[in-house]
Amino acid sequence: MADRSWYDDSDPHDAVQRAERATRFGWAAIAGTAGGCGCALIAMAAVGVVAILTCLYLVVAMDY
């Protein structure tokens, strides 16, 4: 304590830096989750389209 200045403001500065890092990590986690959900949704839609086209092909092929 004796070697620190009376006007030492490094503690609030360190807290602000930790908060900024936590905020960046939080936003990165949100963006990663949203991106992953978006990719999963696109993949499910593609599988659905392929399933529908397959069913339509089978219905048409049964008529011949």
Q: Model confidence over 10-53: pLDDT tens digits?
A: 678 888 899 999 999 999 999 999 999 999 999 999 999 999 99
What's the pLDDT at 6? 64
CA 19 – CA 53 distance, rounded (Å): 51
Q: Is the pLDDT of residue 1 over 60?
A: no
The size of the chain, in residues, is 64
DSSP secondary structure of 35-48 = HHHHHHHHHHHHHH
HSE on the CB side for 62, CA within 13 Å?
6
**In the chain, where the domains are located:** 9-64
What's the pLDDT at 49? 98
Whether the model pTM is above 0.85? no
